[in-house]
Structure 1
Amino acid sequence: MTNIPMTVAGAEALRNELKRLKSEDRPRIIQAIADAREHGDLKENAEYHAAREQQSFCEGRIQEIEAKLSNAQIIDVTKLQNNGKVVFGATVTVYNTKTDEEVTYRVVGDDEADIKQNLISVNSPLARALIGKEVDDVAVVTTPSGEVEYEIVNVEYL
């Protein structure tokens, strides 16, 4: 597996989720399985099967997070010298020439992406168009409704 780029905040969020899964969810599910076993016949015990399914999801997520963290390349953009270029982790303010709107995005890893919080994946078409560009450069993004031009207004390494 290759290195997975991740911001410091993204890695911390995954560590917190892993800690919660191991220290809270896993013991709760184990207790639910034990309680369901006491009800008798396991073949027709819906509570038991539901708890086992929860356990399966929990263990799968724990393995997934551990794999991601072990392959994570954590990039702290605040430690980089701001040369004005859009890089992974940078916060970019762009001007959409079609809609006359100015929007600020942060380029993050796939797991951290959340468009509602203006966190865009480094693998998204917009981020790929922005990476390497500087202030006043224009990035052209091909969308289903045609090409959209974004002028880079500001680049910050926060």
Structure 2
Amino acid sequence: MKTNLITRGGYEQLQQELTHLWKVERPETTQKVSWAASLGDRSENADYQYNKKRLREIDRRVRYLTKRLESIKIVDYSPQQEGKVFFGAWVEIENDQGETLSFRIVGPDEIYGRTDYTSIDSPMARALLKKQVDDEAVVNTPSGEKTWYINKIIYNKD
């Protein structure tokens, strides 16, 4: 189950994607389908088949985004969050071997295409929530428990 939270920046990105799909890509693809259909035999027309498939993909994504944008809750920065790990925080952590990781805790809709974001639903994020700098967090992984120490907590005050 996905958590229905998102940062304001993530919400705006999804909104822009929806607008672009609906106002730019869909009309262009519809025009290509009409053009390819006008050429005659559709069974062997690669342009028609490809663009018809692309139109279905666009419509599916538009439906998903429309429903998702209605159901998610935007979480803005609050001064009360300072000093502790909560949704939207940039966190730097370190383990006993000296390995460091730095990432932002965001909603599940925001992590795609980003290596510096982790979902609030991930075991790492769950273990870090409500912790402070110098606290240790024990994360359950498939290979056993791992201990991480929090070095830094930063919030972008969007």
Change in CA separation of 1:86 and 1:115 when aligned onto 2, cut-off 3 Å:
farther
User: Larger deviation: 4-13 or 81-90?
Assistant: 81-90
- Alignment gaps of 5+ in structure 1: none
Question: Could you tell me how far apart the structure 2 residues matched to 1:35 and 1:100 are?
Answer: 60
Per-residue CA deviations over 1:35-84 (Å, capped at 9, x if unaligned) read 1111102233222121111000001101111111111100112x342342
How far did 1:27 drift?
0.8
Question: Could you tell me how far apart the structure 2 residues matched to 1:82 and 1:43 are?
Answer: 59
| Matched-pair contact (CA < 8 Å) for 2:14–2:65 | yes
Per-residue CA deviations over 1:86-105 (Å, capped at 9, x if unaligned) read 111111111122x3022221
Question: Could you tell me how far apart the structure 1 residues matched to 2:69 and 2:86 are?
Answer: 21
Is it true that 1:142 corresponds to 2:131 in the alignment? no
Provide the TM-score with structure 2 as the length reference: 0.90
2:109 aligned residue: 111
Paired AA for residue 36 in structure 1: A
Compute the RMSD of aligned alpha carbons: 2.0
Helix, strand or coil at the partner of 2:139: strand
Per-residue CA deviations over 1:117-154 (Å, capped at 9, x if unaligned) read 31000011100111121222111112233221111112
Question: Could you tell me how far apart the structure 1 residues matched to 2:25 and 2:87 are?
Answer: 33
2:98 aligned residue: 100
Paired AA for residue 4 in structure 2: I
Paired AA for residue 62 in structure 2: I
Paired AA for residue 66 in structure 1: T
2:130 aligned residue: 132
Question: Could you tell me how far apart the structure 2 residues matched to 1:104 and 1:3 are?
Answer: 22
| Matched-pair contact (CA < 8 Å) for 1:3–1:73 | no
Helix, strand or coil at the partner of 1:91: strand
User: Larger deviation: 115-124 or 10-19?
Assistant: 115-124
1:31 aligned residue: 31
2:17 aligned residue: 17
User: Larger deviation: 59-68 or 37-46?
Assistant: 37-46
Corresponding pairs, count: 156
Paired AA for residue 112 in structure 1: E
| Matched-pair contact (CA < 8 Å) for 1:135–1:153 | yes
| Matched-pair contact (CA < 8 Å) for 1:80–1:157 | no
Helix, strand or coil at the partner of 2:81: coil
Moved over 4 A (4+): none
